[in-house]
Amino acid sequence: MRNVYVLGTGMIKFGRYPTKSVPELGAEAALEAIKDAGVSIQDVELFASGNLFMANAMIGQKILQQIGQTGIPVVNVSNACATGSTAFREAFMAVASGMYDVTMAVGVEQMGKQGLLGGGGGGSDPAYSTEGRLGSGLMPAVFGQAGLEHMRKYGTTLEHFGKISVKSHKHATRNPYSQYRNEVTLEDVLNARMVAFPNTLYMCCPTGDGAAAAILVSEDKLKQFAAGRKRARVAASILTSDPYTDRDLTLPDVSTLTRRAAKKAYETAGIGPQDVSLTELHDCFATAELVHYENLGLCGDGEAGKFIDEGGGMHPDLGGKAPVNVSGGLLSKGHPLGATGVANICEVVWHLTQDDRAKQRLVPNAKVGMAHVIGLGSACTIHLLTV
């Protein structure tokens, strides 16, 4: 496997764009990545497009209709919430394998007011559906249950989940790409409308539109195009699905995916969680962020509450340590499903390369960054990047 570098990145501000199409949103991010990389569309040899809700519409080809059709292979990816990060991995593997030298990944989604009430992707056999009989498989309920189980096992409190929301909203005030940039107090979070206990409204990610893009290159092409600019290397690109376990009809497993992927990622990169400078993880709900602190090894099992109380996850400028989701995370930045995975990687890259697009929130001396996404159904990606 060859070394692979992220030469250029692009992202649009997450929000709502009712007058624009999905290909137009994706093209905007792609053109920014091309400009940032200092290449042209003629240099790109493979295009990987991630989109979930229009998975049968060949969105990748439609994006190329906007930015230039050169006859290159196009891979369209649909993999639940890990759609964008899986597209990035396809672009990574194409270069790492030696088959191509310059590839591009774009993640894009237009959700507007669709909501995140769907299940874990893909449809299920009605004969085995437990929806409405044994609780709910809808996402707010699934991740609410995960939070409740952590409370039962370890004594975690509602305030711990609330503090995560406060932290993420605080971080988002420094990110012009974030859908929401408003601070909230712990009282605001705890008194907000309950969605699925223990997650209140401010503990749930918003829906919206977004797009992000990345251009990946081999070491030879890095020397040709980077002109001495600092660029991040992809030290690990891991994709997992659920292993077989005895089925639990009432409590879906939201952790095993991440734990297995994290173990493989650290082994591949030759580092440990203590070496990670910043993490962008899949905080679709505040309860998800808390359990993933432990799943990713940022703290020990049962220690997430203590980790939060001691400033874990907070930007160092705010007195924190082991910063998580300094972009504002999905809770504030938004969660347009196909765009999320690539956007997380863009954020990590910007910190590692001290990019001006993150200048208001740069983590000092960042050397290793982690981007994590899960999609129930099931898929988990973890990317470790270094400089």
Catalytic residues: 81
Instruction: Look at the alpha carbons of 126, 128, 129, 130 in this order and tell me if their dihedral is positive or negative.
Output: positive
Measured CA to CA, the distance from residue 226 to residue 230 in angstroms comes to 8
Contact criterion met (CB below 8 Å) for 48 and 122: no
DSSP 174: T
Q: Which residues contact 270 (CB under 8 A, 6 or more apart)?
A: 235
| Angle, in degrees to the nearest 10, between helices 83-96 and 337-352 | 60
Measured CA to CA, the distance from residue 29 to residue 102 in angstroms comes to 17
Residue 364: count other Cβ atoms within 10 Å of its Cβ: 11
- Residue for token pair 């601070």: 183
Q: Which residues contact 256 (CB under 8 A, 6 or more apart)?
A: 242, 243, 245
| Amino acid making up residue 327 | S
DSSP 138: S
Contact criterion met (CB below 8 Å) for 147 and 199: yes
For the chain, the distance separating the N- and C-terminal CA atoms, rounded to the nearest angstrom, is: 18
DSSP 204: B
Measured CA to CA, the distance from residue 325 to residue 323 in angstroms comes to 7
CA atoms within 13 A on the CB side of 24: 7
CA atoms within 13 A on the CB side of 339: 35
